[in-house]
Amino acid sequence: MPRLRWLVALEDPDLAAAVAALRVRLDGAGLRDGGDLSRSGAGAGRGADEAEATVVWVDRPLPERTTAALLAAGRPLALAGPTLERGDPEGALAEAAGLVPGQPTGRHDIRVRPGQHGAAVMVRLLDHAHTGGAHVGDHVHVEDRVLRLDKTGDDVEVLLSATAGQTEHPVASWRASSGVLAWTLGTTPRAVTTPSFTRLLVLALRHAFGRSTPPVTRVGLLGYGAIGHQHNRALREVAGLDLGAVCDTSPERVAAALAQAPQARGYPAGEDLLADPDLDVIVVSTPPNTHAFWALAALRAGKHVILEKPFALGTEEADGVLAEAAAGDRLVAVYQNRRFDPDHLAVARAVRAGLLGDLFHLEAFVGGYGHPCNLWHSDAAVSGGAVYDWGAHVIDQLLDLMPSQIEHVTAAEQKRVWLDVTNADHARVTIRFAGGAEACFVCSDLAAALKPRWYLLGTRGAIVGTWRTERVIARSEIGTLAEDVLAPADSPPVLDLHAADGSVTRLATPPALPNAFHRELADRVQLGLPMSVTADQSRRVLAVLEAAAISARGSGRPVVPRPAA
């Protein structure tokens, strides 16, 4: 891919910062940052080479000599954000792009769709999250304005478009004869920081540079337990991913998987799955005490690896996996699917917006009163114990909210009632951060009364997340009432923001984003875009879980998590 030279001149510091962060993401996606061009045009036409392209992102008029130098440089040229609207008073850039700009709309939530010449690569990787009739057609949402175009040249390929009134206007177009990509999105920081914005810009640049459509990523599932159907469905629904094979020691489970994905192959042994040359990614869904073993085997077979929670049972195992992945330039990530829970997203949004001030006390609770499951989840030797099981989710959420350095971890466990399983009946983990903030997680099978799901205190306010008890009402086979009461953890809690003046505001939770992790996986493997969940983050979670287990065995003494290798 060509190196990108950048000419950026933006008055809004937030937009300039968003574009700077975008440059880092594009560099990671293989669009290497070739440095800045001066706004005066000095150097704009020098050192032209076939491996360079230029991105212009300005909100003020460019000098005529700069425009002339850009057009004479003989490089592909991308005109982004408000450049055509505000940086091209003489219309020379618009003429090269084959466009006649009109008036912009106001900023609003626009829906971006494939244009009439939308390349297959653009269509295939558009966001397919909204299904079930909520929207018509494939599109993504971007908060921006639409630059109306009064005319589009006959030789211009319209890659993406958005509606203004009853008219579709190009927001991404490519004119091969002049080598100009017009990308009229990107006038707000929020638009530029939207993951779908980055994805579409990468795809538009790839198309402009003649890069082929990324091949479909074929995924193998190693182990097909309770989470297997979730991965199976996601791999069918996320464009660019495909379930290539399933492995399980149970023929019945393999058959259940293939009933949903008949194109996939079935294997009885993990070694056979890893030897399949058509597979790019292996999802390791075996019990936690085998995660590291299978991750290493898959990496040595040249595959990317997605691990179920937790990463492993110990940080030494995790460090071995990370070292192997780095040596082979392979991806390792942990399926932290609850990072995308609506309640966590709402809490994180409020915390990062400063609604609580400085966050200093975090509590999270999961549990109830009832016998735990009889599967390996309740066998501490296999799962790591109760803290590892739910903690792999909740500690990840807490650390996402509090990225500060960890000073130490303390923990306590109770074993009092459920003596037929080896997990603790009740456990508490407390994390002490640098600066004095603390986070506490309690998981319990002896909680006849529930604590709030969330209890967060900051210097300006608090958030309380209250469990909901939801019922699914239906008719039985004979027409009588059939009522299924969901466990509290199966419904997002109600979130209330308490202000220092005593006022209480109900927080809206964003809609669930189906297959959000798998969509990021496709973007990472195919386009090189960053994932929200990284292996280093999951290793940090594991270090806390490991320290908690040591503390609980040591009568609650403080334990410093083992640092990364």
Last residue of a domain, one of 335, 359, 377: 335
The Cα 431–Cα 435 span in angstroms is 12
- For 278, 375, 414, 415, 549, the CA distances from 446, given in Å and listed in that order, are 48, 19, 10, 10, 19
397 and 285 in a single domain? The answer is: no
285 and 301 in a single domain? The answer is: yes
195 and 227 in a single domain? The answer is: no
Query: Residue 122 has what pLDDT?
Result: 54
For 16, the domain range is: 3-208
Token digits of residue 100 = 């006649």
In this structure, is residue 564 part of a structural domain? no
330 and 408 in a single domain? The answer is: no
Overall number of domains in the chain: 3
In this structure, is residue 560 part of a structural domain? no
143 and 16 in a single domain? The answer is: yes
CATH number at residue 222: 3.40.50.720
In this structure, is residue 559 part of a structural domain? no
CATH number at residue 149: 3.40.50.880
329 and 351 in a single domain? The answer is: no
162 and 38 in a single domain? The answer is: yes
In this structure, is residue 562 part of a structural domain? no
Per-residue pLDDT tens for 349-392? 999 999 999 999 999 999 999 999 878 888 999 999 989 999 99
Query: Residue 127 has what pLDDT?
Result: 44
Last residue of a domain, one of 310, 335, 360: 335
469 and 486 in a single domain? The answer is: yes
Query: Residue 407 has what pLDDT?
Result: 98
Q: Which regions of the chain are under pLDDT 70? A: 1, 38-51, 117-138
Q: Are 530 and 354 in contact (CB under 8 A)?
A: no
Query: Residue 522 has what pLDDT?
Result: 93
Between strands 99-104 and 77-80, the pairing is: unpaired
Query: Residue 337 has what pLDDT?
Result: 95
Distance of alpha carbon 135 from its chain centroid, rounded?
Answer: 22
CATH number at residue 440: 3.30.360.10
Give the strands of the sheet with 108-114, arranged side by side: 33-36, 3-9, 52-58, 77-80, 180-183, 167-175, 157-164, 108-114, 140-144
Query: Residue 2 has what pLDDT?
Result: 73
In this structure, is residue 561 part of a structural domain? no
Q: Are 99 and 173 in contact (CB under 8 A)?
A: yes
49 and 178 in a single domain? The answer is: yes
Query: Residue 1 has what pLDDT?
Result: 66
161 and 39 in a single domain? The answer is: yes
Q: Are 509 and 493 in contact (CB under 8 A)?
A: no
317 and 382 in a single domain? The answer is: no
Q: Are 336 and 532 in contact (CB under 8 A)?
A: no
Predicted TM-score (pTM) of this structure = 0.90
Query: Residue 456 has what pLDDT?
Result: 98
Last residue of a domain, one of 208, 231, 262: 208
In this structure, is residue 558 part of a structural domain? no
In this structure, is residue 388 part of a structural domain? yes
In this structure, is residue 565 part of a structural domain? no
379 and 418 in a single domain? The answer is: yes
